[in-house]
Structure 1
């Protein structure tokens, strides 16, 4: 087994070009992520730096294609890529620096208003991507970043896809967040819908649905207390095991989700008054 060894010149406090590495905020099999300072502009950024052993000509070609698609997605809830280039021999992907991930945020209780706002932003982000013909393939709380004023941005479009193809040469995505067909190497927009359904269920119930995804999963009683039946029906449809029983894409999901807004808010307000 090959170990992920941090190169000697990638240490907290050192520099990569104009960027000073302030702290490491994430580590995975493919890349490390650092909070850094752009010393020329005096702004904070995040740097994703793939491990050198994965940086092959094939990865670079795949990555270029994916990044071009990502950079064409202009949406307030999609993480922009500020730069993607070789610096001091390292492939460096530069993005804005978030306050926390959705995974971190979900470890603390969320009000309905906060959860509903974040959920809506996530759905809208993926809907924008699907409208442009882009499938994310790795929607999970760690790839959902939260900024000031609870602005959400979905990250790792294309980066995750290129990384997974390079490492596994099989289905893309993260086990546990994937639709069944995606785990067999057949991802589609319906697979992204399934992953959204998993995240939404966790946000509102506090529990993760698990395979074989029989309904109702653990936490369904909490879901019924917090959500209008229309929203529950939307989440349930998103989590259908058979792809064709789900929404065809996140655009269809967003249409139904946003159509239910008034009912959802009124139901939540009524529930608050009764407690």
Structure 2
């Protein structure tokens, strides 16, 4: 899609992201008079097989009503394209990580990240692609989890491809066996980067680079929470996002009291 190209009531302004399945554009809604984000599958994905996945994403998100999950405003076919319209944020967490974040603000982001994942898990949904670029930042420092395109339903047996993003994907998910605990692992890596400024690498031996910075910033119980989340063996992690959120809330005040 090109800048100024019209797509129904939308006028394309610029491309924001380009993934393996779809591109995301900033567009202007000429009827409502506001800017939105449009997720549009690549032309090569416009067949019945892949369109079924995009419809599934829309229906899945319709189940998720939470302030930290990005809602879908509309989904329809326009001029042969399948178009998903969503609220437009001001940045991604990935972009925000390029600038200094105070420990207090990082702890606030942590609570929002875990709340979003806990809600999805309570609905039986594994996100399968937890990473900083999939958290959209809105005014007021509100984070919303986006891009459920790789998501799987945990209530039935999963035989998935190794979907996810290299650097954040859990070992068992890379082997095609995602669990709720796989999202926990990816979340632990996001939090490690959020506080330590670097990303641990395989084989995730403790302490990874940046651990000294982590210990300087955070209460030992918060460090232990992150360490448990990135255990290689799933049964050593928190079972799901709800349990990780509960553990975080139990130690949040001590952690906040130790901010840098």
Q: TM-score of the superposition, structure 1-length normalised?
A: 0.89
Correspondence list, 1:66-77, <5 A = 66-77=57-68
In structure 1, what is the Cα distance between the partners aligned to 2:53 and 2:5? 29
Q: Work out whether residues 161 and 172 of structure 1, in 8 Å CA contact, stay in contact via their aligned partners in 2.
A: no
**Match 1:258 to one of 234, 249, 254:** 249
> Post-superposition shift, 1:91?
1.1
- Give the match for residue 146 of structure 1: 137
- Give the match for residue 227 of structure 1: 218
**Bigger helix share:** 1
RMSD (Å), alpha carbons? 1.2
Deviations along 1:167-222, whole A, 9 cap, x unmatched? Answer: xx722211211000000000010000000000000000001000001011100000
In structure 1, what is the Cα distance between the partners aligned to 2:104 and 2:177? 35
2:8 matched to 1:14? no
> Post-superposition shift, 1:234?
0.5
2:24 matched to 1:33? yes
Give the number of aligned pairs: 253
- Give the match for residue 128 of structure 1: 119
Q: TM-score of the superposition, structure 2-length normalised?
A: 0.94
- Give the match for residue 157 of structure 2: none
- Give the match for residue 48 of structure 1: 39
> Post-superposition shift, 1:61?
2.0
- Which runs of 5 or more structure 2 residues have no equivalent in the other structure? 153-159
- Which runs of 5 or more structure 1 residues have no equivalent in the other structure? 1-9, 163-168
